[in-house]
A and B are shown apart, each in its own frame.
Chain A
Amino acid sequence: DAGITQSPRHKVTETGTPVTLRCHQTENHRYMYWYRQDPGHGLRLIHYSYGVKDTDKGEVSDGYSVSRSKTEDFLLTLESATSSQTSVYFCAISEPAGASYEQYFGPGTRLTVT
């Protein structure tokens, strides 16, 4: 299995509080991604990074920010959590080679916003 960890694995927080989720990899992969997964929606990309300090928005980026200060860590921040952000969050990594963009996922973080 790829060396990807996420922390925390579970979190319950109140509406309006800031929350930061961490993704850590030991594979030295260039690309890192944050997804959320909700019933009926599948996996949706929030933000991704293609290098240190290089990030871009995904399809559901509103209410989220990210930072990547070093290759191995990619942080996802909910500045002011809302109940609609209750979800399972997955981090993924990839190292594109030619036309191949295989992604490897972390174990996920279950976030509940009350």
Chain B
Amino acid sequence: RKEVEQDPGPFNVPEGATVAFNCTYSNSASQSFFWYRQDCRKEPKLLMSVYSSGNEDGRFTAQLNRASQYISLLIRDSKLSDSATYLCVVIAYSGAGSYQLTFGKGTKLSVIP
């Protein structure tokens, strides 16, 4: 099982739709979780952190399910500008004061007019 897995998509959704992505992780000791957004030929940009209690930022909601070892990202009222690839990041402490970041390969979203 890969450490961090995402459905690569593409997810093609109409404007105004609600879309959800999941990201599963294999390391039960993982501590921190993030969602990044990456536009074509651009650098990844931090979208939001994922907290145990779940968190919301406008149209975006991130949730963590530690029991099932996945995080999710929900986008409501999709906009054309939401079209991008969404990367999940999982961080685990690896001992001796160091930690390991693992990126998923990303899920591509295309919002269609």
Q: Which residues of A are in contact with B by a Cβ distance under 8 Å?
A: 40-45, 50, 56, 90, 96, 99-108
A-B contact list, 19 entries, CB within 8 Å: A40-B105, A42-B103, A42-B104, A42-B105, A42-B106, A43-B44, A44-B103, A50-B98, A90-B43, A90-B44, A99-B31, A100-B32, A100-B49, A103-B46, A105-B43, A105-B44, A105-B45, A107-B43, A108-B42
Least CB separation from A106: chain B residue: B43
* A43 pairs with B46, CB closer than 8 A: no
Least CB separation from B4: chain A residue: A42
Is B87 part of the contact surface with A, judged by Cβ < 8 Å?
Answer: yes
* B99 pairs with A101, CB closer than 8 A: yes
Q: A104-B46, A105-B43, A105-B44 are in contact. Are A42 and B87 (CB under 8 A)?
A: yes
Contact string against A for B residues 30-46, beta-carbon threshold 8 Å, 1 for contact and 0 otherwise: 01101000000011111
Task: Report the minimal beta-carbon distance from B40 to chain A, rounded to whole angstroms.
Answer: 12
| Set B46, B99, B103: member contacting A102, Cβ < 8 A | B46
Chain B residues, Cβ within 8 Å of A103: 46, 89, 101
Query: For the complex, what is the distance from the CA of A43 to the CA of B6, rounded to whole Å?
Result: 13
Query: For the complex, what is the distance from the CA of A40 to the CA of B6, rounded to whole Å?
Result: 12
Query: For the complex, what is the distance from the CA of A100 to the CA of B50, rounded to whole Å?
Result: 10
Is B74 part of the contact surface with A, judged by Cβ < 8 Å?
Answer: no
Task: Report the minimal beta-carbon distance from A61 to chain B, rounded to whole angstroms.
Answer: 14
